[in-house]
Each structure stands twice: as C-alpha cells, then as structure tokens.
C-alpha cells in the first residue's frame, strides 16, 4: 500500500481496477431485461418468471458469507477469476436450458457468482488505493458498474436482433470472460500476510468478527439496510407511479432514462466530496434527497411534478454511489476485513430484498401512495442514522 503522502492517480490502475466492473455491469445489464422472457418461452407462468428473476438477488444474498470465506482463503484476484468462470458456466446453462428449472438454477448461480465477484472487487480496491482517495475510488467503482449496466441492454438488443433472446446471454458471456481475463492479469495488491498462503496465522472467525463489531453493525448497519431498501424500491416506484398517473410506456422509459443519466453523471464529484470533507457530507444529503423525493412522488399528481421528483431521486441515488462500500471499508478491521465486508454486504443485500417486499405489501394492504411514502420515510430514517452515528471528518487510519 502507498503512504498517504505518495502521489497517486486512479488512471494508473484504471484498467485492472475498473475494467472488470464495467464488463460486469454490461453482463448484468444485458440479461436482466430478458430473463423473465426466457422463462416465459420455457413455459413458466408470469409469477414463476418473476420468481426466477428474483433468484439473482436471492443467490447473492445467501452467498455473501460463503463469498467472504472464499475470498479470504483464495485472495481477491483468484476469487474474481473463479466468479467470472462460474458466471460463464451459469450463463451457458441459461442458454441451453430446456426447462424453466434449469434456467432458474443458472440464474441462481449467476447471483452466487455476483456476490463473490463484488466482494473480491471491493477488497481489491481497498488495497489498491490509499485511504485519502478511497471514496473516489469506490464511488467510481460503483459508477462504472452503472455505466456498464446502462450499456448492457443496448448491446444485448443488438445481438438479440440476430440470435433471439440467446444473444443477450452471449453478450453477457463475452463481458464476463473479459472481466475474468483482466482480473487474471491484474497485479496483486493485498499485503503479503493477506495473500493466499502468505501467513500461517489462523483466519478470524465470522462470529468473532460479528461479535466484536456488533455496535457498528447495529448502528451504521441499520443505515445501510435502510438506504439499500430505498435504492432497490426506487427502480419499482418510477414505472409504477408513471402507470398510476396514466403515462405511456414510451414516456415512462424516457423518464427512466433521464433519471439514469443524472444518476451516472455525479458519482465522481460525490466521491471527491467524501474524501475532502467527510462521508457525512454525502451520506446525509443523498438519503434526505431520496426520502424527500419518494414522499414527493407519493403526493405528485401531474407529469411535471413527477419528472422533478424523479430527477431528485436520480440525483440522490447518484451522489450516494459507492457509499455502502466506502462506509464498509472505513469500518472494517485490518484483520478480518474480508469477513467483515461479507457481513456488511449481507446487511446491504437484506435491505435490497426488503425494499420491494415492503413496497408490495404496503400497496396490497393500503395503497401505492402510502407504500411510496413509507419508502420515503425509510430514506429519512437512513439520514437520521448517518447523522447520529457517522464520524465527523475523514477516516485517517484503519481499525486494528
């Protein structure tokens, strides 16, 4: 690792650090729009097709702890290569699936591979950059994945035109093979004691890590759970509220694209602000913006008002890019970092799974407006948690 005083540029590590993330985003973006359609082609009902799509998130959720153990044992680089290989095999299973259950298995393994890949990617970046540039690096990491996810559907659509739905999966395979190849040739960044076979010391146990860091997991972890729930629900809120207002599909898509453009344009300035002024300067405003925007959405009755609050939602989500990874990296101990980050990702994924579920239940028992407003309150709750428990200033040293 470099000292904080050593000159450092993200450009020096751009390809090994961000190349796999862009390609991973392309892979995910290419297949997400077509998984449900593939399930329908194999004879699955609409409800079953929705469940198969959800298996990506479920696979990631249940694999966070195993991903931490794998990454801790084999190292970040080898874990990324292995995750890319697993993803390619899972995508091939999706292509050659003759029954819906085969597609479901493939999709579940894609989620598992995603968990390993993302944890290893985050840990690699923490080692690759000095602390004073951590937020910029992790915000850019999250931002490049979003750019890839934005480009993925267009790349998939181009090949679908010639090959049918399988074209999207072949785009995803090519992207994941590229990500694995870059990871394979990337230099090791971990200190010798954390490289595979580099230390004879026993690895800390997950339960011990959870116990010794229970305070931060129960305080900041709550904020991470809430902000993850808000982020996941926002992707459902925009099309649902547009439909509620009677907008056409083309208008909804245009608004969604506008929100995505705003989302992708602000990640680096937000990371720079976090590095220079502290995490609080982004964590609180971003969650307040999303909370207020969602409450505003539940009260909007016209197209103009809906566009304004949707743009606020995109801005809030965009400036929060990388916040979950950055706060996890700040809170993680030097010894047992990978295990801690596995638990941290588990909390975040629980929030991501919780958001749409709460939205669905509230809509069913009350109304869509009350459900969207409730998610806005989640955003305000996250802001309150961060205001109360986030340290002021910048983290200058790691915990032991």
Q: What's the whole-number mean pLDDT along residues 104-120?
A: 95
Q: Which two tokens stand for residue 268?
A: 């680096």
Q: What is the structure's pLDDT at 167? A: 93
pTM: 0.87
pLDDT, the chain, mean:
88
pLDDT tens for 79-100 read 999 999 999 999 999 999 999 9
pLDDT tens for 149-180 read 888 988 998 899 888 899 999 999 999 999 99
Q: Cα–Cα distance between 194 and 198 in angstroms, integer?
A: 6
Q: What's the whole-number mean pLDDT along residues 111-129?
A: 91
Q: Cα–Cα distance between 124 and 337 in angstroms, integer?
A: 11
Residue appearing with tokens 């230099």: 187
Q: Cα–Cα distance between 91 and 324 in angstroms, integer?
A: 28
Which residues are CB-neighbours of 264 under 8 A, at least 6 positions away?
A: 143, 146, 147, 150, 318
pLDDT at position 399 over 50: no
pLDDT at position 241 over 50: yes
Q: Cα–Cα distance between 165 and 335 in angstroms, integer?
A: 45
User: 207 exposed, middle or buried (CB, 10 Å; 0-12, 13-18, 19+)?
Assistant: exposed
Q: What's the whole-number mean pLDDT along residues 279-293?
A: 96
Q: What's the whole-number mean pLDDT along residues 13-25?
A: 88
pLDDT at position 196 over 90: no
Q: What is the structure's pLDDT at 187? A: 80
Alpha helices in the chain (DSSP H): 14-31, 35-41, 46-74, 76-95, 100-128, 134-163, 166-185, 206-212, 214-244, 249-265, 267-277, 280-299, 303-319, 323-331, 337-365, 368-389
Is the model more confident about 17 or about 35? 35
Q: Which two tokens stand for residue 376?
A: 């806005």
Nearest-5° Cα angle at 168, 24 to 229: 50
Q: What's the whole-number mean pLDDT along residues 319-325?
A: 93
Q: CA nearest 132: which of 296, 268, 263, 5?
A: 5
Which residues are CB-neighbours of 92 under 8 A, at least 6 positions away?
A: 106, 169, 173
Q: What's the whole-number mean pLDDT along residues 66-70?
A: 92
Q: What is the structure's pLDDT at 398? A: 44
CB atoms within 10 A of CB 181: 15
Q: What is the structure's pLDDT at 400? A: 39
Q: Which two tokens stand for residue 137?
A: 């690096």
Q: What is the structure's pLDDT at 53? A: 86
Q: What is the structure's pLDDT at 202? A: 60
Residue appearing with tokens 């874990």: 79
> Any idea what DSSP says for residue 391?
P
Q: What is the structure's pLDDT at 50? A: 80
The pLDDT > 90 percentage for the chain reads 57
pLDDT at position 101 over 90: yes
pLDDT tens for 244-271 read 898 887 788 788 888 888 988 899 999 9
pLDDT at position 181 over 90: yes
pLDDT band, residue 382 (cuts 50/70/90): very high
pLDDT at position 396 over 80: no
Is the model more confident about 197 or about 66? 66
Residue 399 backbone dihedrals phi, psi, to 5 degrees: -75, 150
pLDDT at position 206 over 90: no
pLDDT at position 339 over 60: yes
Q: What's the whole-number mean pLDDT along residues 122-140?
A: 89
Q: Cα–Cα distance between 286 and 280 in angstroms, integer?
A: 10
Q: What is the structure's pLDDT at 397? A: 41
pLDDT tens for 356-377 read 888 888 888 888 999 999 999 9
On whether the CB atoms of residues 321 and 270 are closer than 8 A, the answer is: yes
Q: What is the structure's pLDDT at 195? A: 59
pLDDT at position 188 over 80: no
Q: What's the whole-number mean pLDDT along residues 201-206?
A: 70
pLDDT at position 200 over 60: no
């Amino acid at each position: 690792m470099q000292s904080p005083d050593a000159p450092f540029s993200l450009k020096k590590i751009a390809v090994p650090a961000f190349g796999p993330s862009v390609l991973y985003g392309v892979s995910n973006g290419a297949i997400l729009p077509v998984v449900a359609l593939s399930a329908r082609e194999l004879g699955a009902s609409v409800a079953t097709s929705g469940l198969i799509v959800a298996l990506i998130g479920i696979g990631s959720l249940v694999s966070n702890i195993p991903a931490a153990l794998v990454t801790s044992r084999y190292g970040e680089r080898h874990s990324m290569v292995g995750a890319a290989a697993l993803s390619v095999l899972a995508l091939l299973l999706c292509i050659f699936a003759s029954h819906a259950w085969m597609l479901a298995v493939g999709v579940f393994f894609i989620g598992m591979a995603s968990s390993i890949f993302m944890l290893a990617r985050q840990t690699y970046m923490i080692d690759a950059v000095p602390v004073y540039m951590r937020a910029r690096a992790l915000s850019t990491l999250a931002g490049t994945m979003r750019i890839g996810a934005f480009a993925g559907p267009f790349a998939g659509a181009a090949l679908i035109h010639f090959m049918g739905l399988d074209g999207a999966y072949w785009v995803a395979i090519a992207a994941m093979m590229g990500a694995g190849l870059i990871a394979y040739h990337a230099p090791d960044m971990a200190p010798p004691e954390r490289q595979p076979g580099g230390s004879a010391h026993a690895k800390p146990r997950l339960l011990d890590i959870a116990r010794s860091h229970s305070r931060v997991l129960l305080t900041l972890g709550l904020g991470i759970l809430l902000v993850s729930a808000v982020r996941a629900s926002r992707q459902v809120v925009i099309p649902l509220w547009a439909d509620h207002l009677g907008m056409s599909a083309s208008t909804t898509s245009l608004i969604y694209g506008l929100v995505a453009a705003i989302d992708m344009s602000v990640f680096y300035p937000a990371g720079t602000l976090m590095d220079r002024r502290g995490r609080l300067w982004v964590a609180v405003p971003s969650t307040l913006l999303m909370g207020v925007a969602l409450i505003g959405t539940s009260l909007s009755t016209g197209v103009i008002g809906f566009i304004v609050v949707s743009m606020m939602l995109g801005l809030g989500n965009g400036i929060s890019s990388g916040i979950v990874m950055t706060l996890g990296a700040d809170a993680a101990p030097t010894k047992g970092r990978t295990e801690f980050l596995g638990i941290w990702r588990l909390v975040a994924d629980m929030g991501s799974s919780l958001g749409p579920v709460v939205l669905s239940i509230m809509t069913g028992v009350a109304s869509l407006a009350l459900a969207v407003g409730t998610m806005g309150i989640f955003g305000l709750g996250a802001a309150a948690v961060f205001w109360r428990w986030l340290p002021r200033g910048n983290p200058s040293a790691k915990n032991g």
